[in-house]
Amino acid sequence: MRSRHPAPAAGPETKTTGGVVRGISSHGVHSWRGIPYAAAPVGDLRLRRPHPVVPWEGVRDASRFGPVPIQERIGEFIGAGRDTPMSEDALTLNVSAPTTPSDTPRPVMVWFYGGAFVVGASSAPTYRGYDFVRRGDVVYVSVNYRLGALGYLDFSAYGTPERPIESNLGLRDQIAALEWVRDNIAAFGGDPDQVTVFGESAGAISVTTLMATPSARGLFHRAIAESSAPGMVFGQERARAWAAGFVTALGADDDPLTGLTTATGEQLLAAARVLRDHLGDQPGTIPTAPVVDGDLLPEAPLDAFEAGRAADIPLIIGTNDTEGRLFELPRMRMDVLVSEERASRMFALTQPELREQVLGAYEGRPFRKDLGGDYMFWWPSVRVMQAHRGPVWAYRYDLTTPVLNLMGVRATHGMELFTVFGVADRARWLTALGGRAALRAMQDRVQDDWLHFARHGTPASFWPEYEPDTRLTKILDRTDRVEADPRRERRLAWQGFRGYD
């Protein structure tokens, strides 16, 4: 049977710091896939900071995506599909640009995927970014970074002078990718002085954390954080306790360094499952997260924002209406305080004096549907909104469809991705009972705002800046509107809550 679409043609050859790459061209877009931006973190480089890419001879085929990082195979959308190649050698990125020439360099948009720092891939179909390239005349970059134990557990205490181990490896990967963009993107028609980073969930945590990371300063100039959880960055004492639990689960207490450096990918994943299943005593945390290590990340991002030490660049930041409802669905294993018991335990470990004040704002609401999402995503994002020293535009994404209403999740975590990446027509299940016209219209508005922001540093539509005295927030719905201090009662209830260290 003949395909409805012509096969991609060979694309242009482009020189990078590693060597020449040849991409593919199709439907008005040049694409280069699987370009290494650092050396393979294998062998002696496992659990090490990213090292310079190893140059290659000749022309490298950049028509295929690189392997995805080591992770559980739980679905192509957020992780590795059943047939997707997986490898530790996954520090690659993808570049897409318009086929039409331009007299001036194009704005660059760099995407970091979500997935709780344990799943995700730049090659996921949703993240291809071709709509951005065609609609906005931009250069789009999507990045693979290390996940799980290999990227976000702090094993640095087990290193030696002869065999060091660094912390925050996934974050270091992202910085290395941004350095690659700085040094190479002009060869693809991009402007290294007009780089916007954006991400969702763990990718948005990456964005807000990078804004607070001194060594990332100057590598990007605008930022978009979709459903960030800025508080999911923890102190080194807590992080090292999680690392010790992982070593025990790996069966490597007698010789942690050898165990960590020689374990297979499946052994690492098995140990991570054991660690995850024994985190019940610290509800509302994720062990695979950036760590305040006093080296790469000198302070918690929320502290950096509130002290005025985060990058004061233009920022779009927001959350979805019912963030926490996604996590009550089957197979969703992230802990977002799904019961009053879990919430009470969290307050006992953080600020017990605020328990009644906060919980009182949720009387009559199922805990698993509201409080957890506000705790993890909304309230910490509000803290960033009100503290950021640069221009900030705040939003709440409320658009839902009959299917989502029937499921009981409404505009939950991740739903804005369908509009951001222009895949509303491909997600037919989402509009099987109606709502496609509204989703398409939202897609146009959101993409216009994101693209205008990448080019000019402001949204395209009417959208006042967020100020602490007015708290003007754009509500993205069938008809967009601007509200002053939405959910004021909840905000006041959370006032003063700082969470885990």
Query: Known catalytic residues?
Result: 201, 323, 413
Nearest one of 296, 252, 324 to 151, comparing CA atoms = 296
- Tokens matching residue 445: 């508005």
Helices (H), 156-283: 169-184, 202-211, 236-250, 256-262, 265-277
Task: Identify the sign of the CA torsion 317, 188, 23, 17.
Answer: negative
Helix (H) or strand (E) holding 472: strand 472-476
Q: Are 67 and 116 in contact (CB under 8 A)?
A: no
Closest C-alpha among 374, 368, 443 to residue 409: 368
Please tell me the distance from the alpha carbon of residue 213 to that of residue 173, in angstroms, as a whole number.
13
Rg (CA), the chain: 22
Contact 339, 362 (CB under 8 A): no
Please report the DSSP string for 82-137 in residue order.
Answer: TT--B-S---EEEEEEESS--SSPEEEEEEE--STTTS--TTSGGG--HHHHHHH-
CA–CA distance, 209 with 226 (Å, rounded to integer) = 13
- 493/361 Cα distance (integer angstroms): 6
Strand boundaries in 220-372, DSSP class E: 222-226, 234-235, 291-292, 315-320
Compute CA distances 34 → 89, 121, 400, whole Å: 11, 11, 35
User: Whose structure tokens read 């877009």?
Assistant: 29
Return the amino acid letter for 430.
L
Distance between CA atoms of residues 385 and 372, nearest Å: 19
* 82: CB partners within 8 A, 6+ apart: 73
Task: Please say whether the beta carbons of 246 and 279 come within 8 A.
Answer: no
